[in-house]
Each structure stands twice: as C-alpha cells, then as structure tokens.
Amino acid sequence: MVKDVMKIAAVQMVSAPVPEQNFIAARRLVAQAAQQGAQLVLLPEYWPVMGMHESDKAGYAEQETDAGPIQRCMSDIAREHRIWLIGGTLPMVSPEAGKVLNTTLVFNPDGERISRYDKIHLFSFTKGDESYEESRTIVPGSTVATFDAPFGKVGLSVCYDLRFPELYRAMGDCALIVVPAAFTYTTGKAHWEVLLRARAIENQCYVLAAAQGGLHPNGRRTWGHSMLIDPWGEVKTVLAEGEGVVIGDIEPHHLMRIRENLPALTHRKL
Amino acid sequence: MVKDVMKIAAVQMVSAPVPEQNFIAARRLVAQAAQQGAQLVLLPEYWPVMGMHESDKAGYAEQETDAGPIQRCMSDIAREHRIWLIGGTLPMVSPEAGKVLNTTLVFNPDGERISRYDKIHLFSFTKGDESYEESRTIVPGSTVATFDAPFGKVGLSVCYDLRFPELYRAMGDCALIVVPAAFTYTTGKAHWEVLLRARAIENQCYVLAAAQGGLHPNGRRTWGHSMLIDPWGEVKTVLAEGEGVVIGDIEPHHLMRIRENLPALTHRKL
C-alpha cells in the first residue's frame, strides 16, 4: 500500500518553573508547527514540569482516569489543530508514594488519548558536580508501546531509553521512532546525535527527537538539538538551543526504497 | 582487579588479487604495529582474498583441522611478535559446495588458535550499478563468539554484523569489540563511523575496526577509516584510506570510570 507524505514536527522548549507558562509556550509552538503544515507534533520530555525542582514534580502528577490540566491542555491542542500530538512526557501517579511515572501520552486529531508509554530506563549519572538519579523520583514502566499513524507504526521511547537498542528492536518494524528528551549538556554533546542516527540506520526508519534545550530556572542545562533524521541516518533538520520547532517530511517511498536497496531488517538472526 | 594499559592496533589494507602479496603486506604492517608496541593486532575482513573475484575465493578456503597457508601465516606472525592476532577473516570450507564461511580466527602470542567466529549476518545491497549479495558465496555462521585477552573479554564481529545491535548485546559485557570490515564506499561514508561509535557508547567498551580502504584490483572501492573508539564514543585515531596502521591504548581505568559515572549496562531491562 502506498502511503502519502506527511509533515511532522518536534517542539523544543526550555521549560519554565510554572506549568501554566509551559502550557502557553507549548500552545504557541505547536500552533507554529501546525501553521507550517505539521500533522504530527512531538513535545519534549517533562515539558510541563522540567523547569521546577525534582521534588516538586510529584505534586503535578495526573491520573489516567481523571484527566488533569496537562492532559486537558494536550487534548485541546490536538483537537484544535486536528493533529496527532505525542505529548512528550508528564508525571503520572504511580503506585509508590512521592514517585511518579514519566509518561508519554498520544492524542489523535479528535483529541482522544490513544496510546501510553511509561519510560522504562531511568537515568543516573555522576561526574564531578553533576549528579542525577531518576529512580529517586520516578518509577520505571515495563511495557513497550507503539501506535498506528497514517504513514505507519510509531515507536515510543523517552530520553535515556535511547541508550538501549533492544527497546527499539522490541517495538517491531516502525516507520517512525520518537524520542522526547532532556539530555544533559555533557551527555548530549557526547552521545545524542550519534545514538539517534544509529537508531535510524539500524532500524531503517525516521527518528524524531524533541528536546529541552537551554539553561533552566532550576539550574539544569539541557543539550537541545531537536532533530528529524531519515531512514538512511541523515539529519534533515536540527535546532541547537532555545525554543522553537523543527519540521520535515515522512516520505514512505523513501523509506521503502532504502529497505529495498539494503534489506537489513530481513537479515536479523538473533 | 586492576588491569594494565595495553596498546592495540588495527591494520588497514587494500588487498591485492594474489594471497601471497597480501601475506607480505600483512607481515609488514603487523610488524610496524608491533614495533610501535601493539600487543594485540586486528587484520581487516578477507585480507588474503579481498582483491580477487568473489567466485575465486572458495578456491582458497581452508580447513580448521589441516591449517593452510593463511592460517600458518597468521600463526607465524602472532608467534614472531608475541602478540594476540585477530586474523580479520579468511574463507573457511563450508558444508555447501562452492561456498565458504567468512571466518575470524584468533591466535595467542604462542601462535595457537584460541577462538573462531563465523560471520552471522550476510550483506546484500543494490543501488544503481552497485550490487552485492554475500549469500551467493558465503554460508552464515550462527554462534556468538568472544575470547579473553589480558585486559578483559573481546567480542568478535565482522563488517555487516555492525548493523545488528543485538549481536553485541548477546556477547555480554566486553572490554573490546572488534570489527574487521570491508564496507563499500557508499555505505561506509553514510554509516560506518556512526554505527561504530554507537556500539562503543551503548556497550561502554572500546571498539577497534580494521578496514579495507581503497580501490581494489577487482574494481571494488572500500571505505577504509580504520579506527579505535573509546568507551565514551570518542574516535581516538583513524586512517582514512590506503594501507597503514592505527594504534592506541586500551585503558581499563578509563573504561571502569565511565561505567561508574554512567552505569548504563546495569540498567538494561529488556
């Protein structure tokens, strides 16, 4: 079946400490992307809460059964622009008191929630003054998740998941992999682009990555470099730092041609 | 246990059509590496036979039980320089008439064969005039292989295997992954470095890649760019094209520090 080209976009943010400010920024940036023709838009990791202190995030965790302001905001945006919205991540209530799940929710153009992924791999890093330990505030998910967009299957992952190639293999054959993220400046500079490109090449699919990118009010500095990569591993568009949108095409013909020329996905043995 | 630094090297070749010429080149290049202090040396894929036509390679296939001139050459070189020699690949007799296994043999400093890996993933590629189909002449292996060097475990892979991250996960925790290869110019330019760096980053280990690099008498053009990459994904040394040696250090302390700072290998979930 031949499928049509679709324009897709990633929103880069430098999230503020207050969710309401981030709602306004997200609405504005997604509107920009939609005006440029994007029919699928990806927000970055923790876009409503990234600017606040770790310990405050749990206070904004939402329930799936009783949508809070973050979910309502995303549903509204998707419906308003008639787009697929992959909502970066938000904190969702977890079974452990004081901890959350770091969750991607996906909304269709009717504003309906159609998929959910809870981040599986939790980051920890220590080097000199820099130190992170996500498991202090986050409970990991355990289920691989994908959804069907008009151009094919979309695989969901979040930030640190990018270091684990087996997650992407477990998704099966995707046309697009998304990576909402908030890589640190240090690890982002060293590893972000090379890992994104490797996932595109080895899975022969598009990779869309939406990052936090800049200096946050809580003192964290994120790497940015939101980008769209094609199934041959070429970076089609990138935004280094600061708020903004990267936008480009999913071309199903291009993807099929690459897989015909180099049928690597049919050569898996292990 | 604290282990010492060891110098390791990859030999880059532009193999000639006649094995005897390649024996001379390999001896000369490994001697160069050994003189610079290398204690482990990697040869490129099909170093004795890469310059001849595909259909002629089977005529040089060797048996494991009755070592032929290629195996004797490698054993001699290892013993002469008292080094670990990872013998790129050579054609080995297969169960299918007219086809071979594409095999890495490893020799210890006494010249004894201590490990064997038969290439698992077979390359095929078609684009315009360029066309390759390794399964016409090669029978795939099916067994993951590693060996123990003084600094830790070494994982064996060959060329096209590089596109399959699950192979490297199946090796377990290696200090070094080796990739003897003969990437085409087209796929090498697009994918070689990014995939090598990704394997180093995601497996937090050194990657040593020995390539064929130049225009071969049989008309093939290979990408070259033999290189050593550290466990943080940094290219430490690289040779673009032509015969030569790349050399650098395995530093077990550096590897351990990276794994302590960012304990990603302990975070695998799938």
ipTM score here?
Answer: 0.97
**In terms of CA atoms, which chain B residue is nearest residue A234?**
B190
User: Which regions of chain A does DSSP assign to beta strands (E)?
Assistant: 6-12, 40-42, 84-86, 90-93, 100-107, 113-118, 124-127, 130-133, 146-149, 152-156, 176-181, 206-211, 226-229, 235-239, 244-250
Closest-CA distance, B247 to chain A, in angstroms, reads 22
Report percent pLDDT > 70 for chain B.
99
Closest-CA distance, B1 to chain A, in angstroms, reads 22
A119 included as an active-site residue:
yes
* Nearest CB neighbour to A202, from listed B165, B197, B261: B165
- Total count of residues recorded for chain A: 270
Residues in chain B within 8 Å Cβ distance of A164: 202, 264, 267-270
Closest CA to B30 of B269, B188, B243, B186: B243
Q: How confident is the model at residue A1 (pLDDT cuts 50, 70, 90)?
A: low
Q: Are the Cβ atoms of A164 and B260 closer than 8 angstroms?
A: no
Q: Are the Cβ atoms of B166 and A170 closer than 8 angstroms?
A: no
Q: Of B159, B174, B205, B241, which one is the catalytic site residue? A: B159
Query: Rounded CA gap, A74 and A26, in Å?
Result: 9
Q: How confident is the model at residue A84 (pLDDT cuts 50, 70, 90)?
A: very high
Q: Are the Cβ atoms of A164 and B127 closer than 8 angstroms?
A: no
Closest-CA distance, A30 to chain B, in angstroms, reads 31
For chain B, list the domains and their CATH numbers. Answer: 6-267 (3.60.110.10)
Q: Average pLDDT for residues A216-220, to the nearest whole number?
A: 85
Q: What would the pLDDT profile of A96-135 be if each residue is shown by its tens digit? A: 988 999 999 999 999 999 999 999 999 998 888 888 899 9
What integer pLDDT is reported at residue B173 of this predicted model?
96
What integer pLDDT is reported at residue B4 of this predicted model?
86
What integer pLDDT is reported at residue B132 of this predicted model?
87
**In terms of CA atoms, which chain A residue is nearest residue B192?**
A198
Q: Are the Cβ atoms of A142 and B232 closer than 8 angstroms?
A: no
Q: Which of B202, B236, B258 to mutate to test the interface with A (most CBs of A within 10 A)?
A: B202
B198-213 burial: b if 16+ Cβ within 10 Å, else e: bbbbbbbbbbbbbbbb
Greatest alpha-carbon span in chain B: 53
Residue with tokens 């996906």: A106
Q: What are phi and psi of B69, to 5 degrees?
A: -65, -30
Q: Which pTM was predicted? A: 0.98
Q: What would the pLDDT profile of B205-220 be if each residue is shown by its tens digit? A: 999 999 999 998 888 8
Q: Are the Cβ atoms of A267 and B170 closer than 8 angstroms?
A: no
How many CB pairs lie under 8 A apart between chains A and B?
110
Closest-CA distance, B196 to chain A, in angstroms, reads 9
Is residue A219 predicted with pLDDT exceeding 90? no
Low-confidence ranges of chain B (pLDDT < 70): 1-2
Closest CA to A181 of A204, A202, A148, A156: A156
| Paired strand residues for A238 | A227
B49 touches B92 (CB < 8 A): no
* Nearest CB neighbour to B190, from listed A140, A232, A264: A232
Helix (H) or strand (E) holding A77: helix A69-81
SS3 A251: coil
Helix (H) or strand (E) holding B32: helix B19-35
What mean pLDDT value characterizes chain B? 96
